[in-house]
Amino acid sequence: MNLTRLTGLCTTFMLVAHVGCSKPLAETGTFSTSSATANATGEYARVDVDSVERMSIENGKLVLHGASRTAMLDLPSNADPDQKNRGWALVTEGEGDDSRTLTFTQENSLEDFSVTVPAAEGQVAYGSLGGRDGKDMVVFAYGSGNKAYWGWARIEKLAKDAKDK
């Protein structure tokens, strides 16, 4: 076997191994994530809008406004639409091969958490709400080109004792 053929076989093997080993995130899913300051659990799902331009809450529903159509979604059962703007901000974004990571931070107390969701181009719209159980919630949506997602996270801030250990 000559060197050129061996190099070609090795390259092919590496490509097949990479494709076979990389597993894209599902179109819908749940997540549970922890940082030193907060735990977050939630869900994400694909949504039928052409792009995410902005979001609003109307009549107790989350409304995603796209370029040519909107989607009305039920808020998570624990979300209280009357408790808007709880101070959570999207501070960083990162991209992997098939994923997008969003990191949110509470502007006053600086608790933070990150979620990893499927990759899609486009801006992120988000907002924070209070929860009926006293925990904060973040809702988010992103995507364009008929590949858009929305999700939510229920945030549990860790007690100062837990952070200091």
Domain assignment of residue 144, yes or no: yes
pLDDT bucket at 164, cuts 50 / 70 / 90: very low
Instruction: Tell me what pLDDT residue 96 has.
Output: 87
Number of domains in the chain: 1
Asked, for residue 158, whether it belongs to a domain, the answer is yes
User: Has residue 21 been placed in a domain?
Assistant: no
Mean pLDDT confidence for 107-116? 92
Would you say residue 120 has pLDDT above 90? yes
Task: Tell me the pLDDT band of 163, cut-offs 50, 70 and 90.
Answer: very low
**CA-closest candidate to residue 76, choices 41, 47, 105:** 41
pLDDT higher at 59 or 85: 59
At 7-43, the pLDDT tens digits run 343 333 343 344 444 566 688 999 999 999 999 999 9
Q: Is residue 11 part of a domain?
A: no
The DSSP result for 95-120, as a single string, is E-SSEEEEEEEETTT--EEEEEEE--
Q: pTM value?
A: 0.80
Q: Range of 92's domain?
A: 27-164
Q: Residue 142 in contact with residue 46, Cβ under 8 Å? A: no
How far, CA to CA in Å, does 68 sit from each of 59, 71, 81? 21, 11, 25
